[in-house]
Amino acid sequence: MNKYCFGIDVGGTTVKLGLFNEAGDVLDKWEIKTIVDDNGKHILPDIAKSVEAKLAEKKIEKDQVVGIGMGVPGPIKADGVILKAVNLGWGTFNVAEELGRLTGLSVKVGNDANVAALGEMWKGGGQGHANIVMVTLGTGVGGGIIVDGRILTGANGAGGEIGHMHINDEETEKCGCGGVGCLEQVSSATGIVRVAKKYLAGTDKASVLRDQAVSAKTIFDAVKAGDEAAAEIADIFGKYLGTALANVACVADPEVFVIGGGVSNAGPILFDFIKKHYQKVVFAGCKDAEFALAMLGNDAGIYGAAKLILDK
């Protein structure tokens, strides 16, 4: 009998869903809107309806379904309890139990960044490895840590929250998390722009960045074109991120760091700036960790969610 599973990635605006076979091939992929009204109480029923409809459409019986894996944007404990998901309007409740009740299927839930890391390990930039650290450099800095093929969830669902590692005592502005001096403030897509603006304001050095909107993309394009100021900005970014990843290495000692998110569109040139500082300060035993680009883009979540339930 063919077996199937669902991999679901819940975001603040859309829910991505995938139907997989046991080998991890995605058989179908679709999206529904995330209705955050009424404290997000429609989200799980909408997902359940979409799953039921897909089963009917594909003529799949429930006993052919291993279950549903799902990533959600918030801290999730190992038992499926979410502590809070601001973007969805959710407070504390057992997401896995609730979706299980609605669908009659086995459900496993994880934090979205952690689940994406599992996806990249399974079918993406971390393929062939069982110990990876994934860093997503987007609007924020997300992190997910896979140890021996499994998500490091942690006591409070905060395992892999490396975007909020304190790496800058000089910082004065607050991070979105309420802290001050977080990695996210200097290494996210918005963070590197902050770094650039501060750098450019403090020097008279010529730069093509003065004549255009500054973004992670324009900064690294300028680096590639030989712009000195841009290279110095990239170096500041690399120093913070490389040092932070060296700190991560002496805790989790991964085989590979997988870098994703918008900033990673700059490509392998990123690694020049990160590895230079990483290798300078990292514990000797971790010096040879690989660096790889994420490969699954926005699909990492549904792949990881599928893997989560297949491994249950």
- Residues making contact with a second copy (CB under 8 A): 75, 78, 83, 131, 143, 145, 147-148, 150, 152-162, 164-166, 177-181, 243, 246-255, 281-286, 288-289
Cβ proximity to a second copy: between 257 and 273 the closer is 257
Cβ proximity to a second copy: between 152 and 219 the closer is 152
Residue environment code for 180-199, b if the CB has 16+ CB neighbours within 10 A, otherwise e = ebbbbbbbbbbbbbebbeeb
Minimum CB separation of residue 62 from a second copy in Å reads 30
Minimum CB separation of residue 116 from a second copy in Å reads 17
Cβ proximity to a second copy: between 35 and 281 the closer is 281
96's tokens: 């896995």
**Number of neighbouring beta carbons within 10 Å of residue 289:** 22
H-helix or E-strand spanning residue 16: strand 14-21
Cβ proximity to a second copy: between 214 and 308 the closer is 308
Cβ proximity to a second copy: between 100 and 163 the closer is 163
Residues found in the chain = 312
Minimum CB separation of residue 287 from a second copy in Å reads 9
Cα-based angle 169, 243, 199 (whole degrees, multiple of 5): 60
Minimum CB separation of residue 65 from a second copy in Å reads 27
Cα-based angle 285, 287, 290 (whole degrees, multiple of 5): 120
Return the amino acid letter for 295. Answer: M
Cβ proximity to a second copy: between 128 and 226 the closer is 128
Percentages (nearest 5) of helix, strand, coil residues in the chain: 45, 25, 30
Cβ proximity to a second copy: between 65 and 182 the closer is 182
Minimum CB separation of residue 153 from a second copy in Å reads 8
Cα-based angle 74, 79, 80 (whole degrees, multiple of 5): 40
Minimum CB separation of residue 290 from a second copy in Å reads 10
Cβ proximity to a second copy: between 53 and 130 the closer is 130
Minimum CB separation of residue 259 from a second copy in Å reads 16
Return the amino acid letter for 152. Answer: L
Contacts of 121-124 with C-beta under 8 Å, sequence gap 24+, read 121/146, 121/149, 121/258, 121/304, 121/307, 122/24, 122/303, 122/304, 122/307, 123/24, 123/295, 123/296, 123/303, 124/258, 124/294, 124/295, 124/296, 124/300, 124/303
CB 233 within 8 A of CB 196: yes
H-helix or E-strand spanning residue 305: helix 300-310
Minimum CB separation of residue 265 from a second copy in Å reads 25
